[in-house]
Structure formats: C-alpha cells, structure tokens
C-alpha cells in the first residue's frame, strides 16, 4: 500500500483557482489552524450509512459543566470545571486524571443534524444523523428509445 504525504499546501493559490468553493476553503483553513490538542480523547463511530456518534472521554466532569452547541455547521463541545474547595485540601501523590477545561470543535458536513447528546460512564456521546433531502439524492433517469417512422 502506498502512502502519500502532503508536503506543502498553498491554500491561497488554490482559493484563487476555484470559484464558489468559499465554504470548503473556510473549513480547510479551520482544520489546518486548529490547535493540535489531544485532550480530551474522542472517538468518531459510523453506526450505519447515515448515523454517526462522537464519543468524548469526560471523566470527572458533571453534566452542568458541559456545553454542546451547534452554530453554522460547527459543533462545539466545551467543558468548564467549577473550582472545588475540597480539592485544594487533598494531597495528590499522583494526578493522572486531567481536570482542565477543554473545547473541541467539529465541522459537520452538509445535511448533518445533531440528534442528541448523553452522558454515561464518563463518556459524552453526541449522535449525528445525515439527512439528505430527496432532491439531493441520486435518482435514475429513464432512457427512452426514439421510434422512427418513415
């Protein structure tokens, strides 16, 4: 299997050559300028042809400390920890569970809808459904033969 690596990507030059693709270039710019942060870890799962699930590990966060919002096809998931007065009294010998605030953003494709979000066992699950309208679906065109009369 051959693997290709993108060495250079001149987005402004491409932007000048493709007219009407502004949303695509905005998405690419956002993706390439997104900070490379691995916290919190997450999974993206394809459940079936049109349903997807984003699973985010949120150990230690309460539901009230989480926010899931959607604006202009940008799914934004944030976690802001409240200051716990008893936490400062604890003496940690090892602190492996992160307790920092986070913000994760996902750019959703056209026709993607957020169905819901739930928390179970320290995992925030956001369910997405791709709802393609009938006019955008592939349709078969009947082929007719011309009859010649002569």
Residue 25 counted as domain residue = no
Residue 74 counted as domain residue = yes
Domains held by the chain: number: 1
Residue 146 counted as domain residue = no
Which helix or strand (DSSP H or E) is residue 13 part of?
helix 11-17
Cβ atoms of 54 and 117 closer than 8 Å: no
Domain housing 49: 38-84+96-134
- Strand-pairing partners, residue 45, are 53
Cβ atoms of 116 and 127 closer than 8 Å: yes
- Say what the pLDDT of residue 97 is: 80
Q: What is the pLDDT along the chain (150 residues), one digit of tens a residue?
A: 666 555 566 666 766 777 777 777 777 776 666 565 788 999 999 999 999 999 999 988 999 999 999 998 899 999 998 876 666 678 889 888 877 899 999 989 889 999 999 999 999 999 999 988 888 778 888 899 887 665
Residue 52 counted as domain residue = yes
Residue 10 counted as domain residue = no
- Say what the pLDDT of residue 58 is: 94
CB crowding 32-71: b at 16 or more within 10 Å, else e: eeeeeeeebebeeeeeeeeebebebbbeebeeeebebeee
Residue 15 counted as domain residue = no
Residue 1 counted as domain residue = no
Q: In whole angstroms, how large is the CA radius of gyration of the chain?
A: 23
What is the CATH number for 117?
A: 2.60.40.790
Residue 8 counted as domain residue = no
């Amino acid at each position: 299997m051959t693997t290709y690596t993108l060495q250079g990507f001149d987005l402004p030059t491409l932007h000048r050559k493709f007219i009407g693709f502004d949303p695509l270039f905005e998405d690419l710019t956002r993706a390439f300028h997104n900070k490379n942060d691995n916290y919190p870890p997450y999974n993206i799962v394809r459940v079936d042809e049109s349903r997807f699930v984003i699973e985010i590990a949120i150990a230690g966060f309460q539901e009230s400390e989480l926010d899931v919002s959607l604006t202009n096809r940008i799914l934004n998931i944030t976690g802001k920890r409240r200051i716990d007065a008893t936490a400062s009294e604890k003496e940690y010998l090892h602190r492996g569970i992160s307790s920092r605030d986070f913000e994760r953003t996902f750019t959703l494709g056209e026709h993607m809808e957020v169905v819901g979000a739930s928390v179970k066992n320290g995992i925030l699950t956001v369910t997405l459904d791709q709802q393609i309208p009938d006019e955008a679906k592939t349709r078969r065109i009947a082929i007719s033969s011309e009859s010649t009369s002569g």
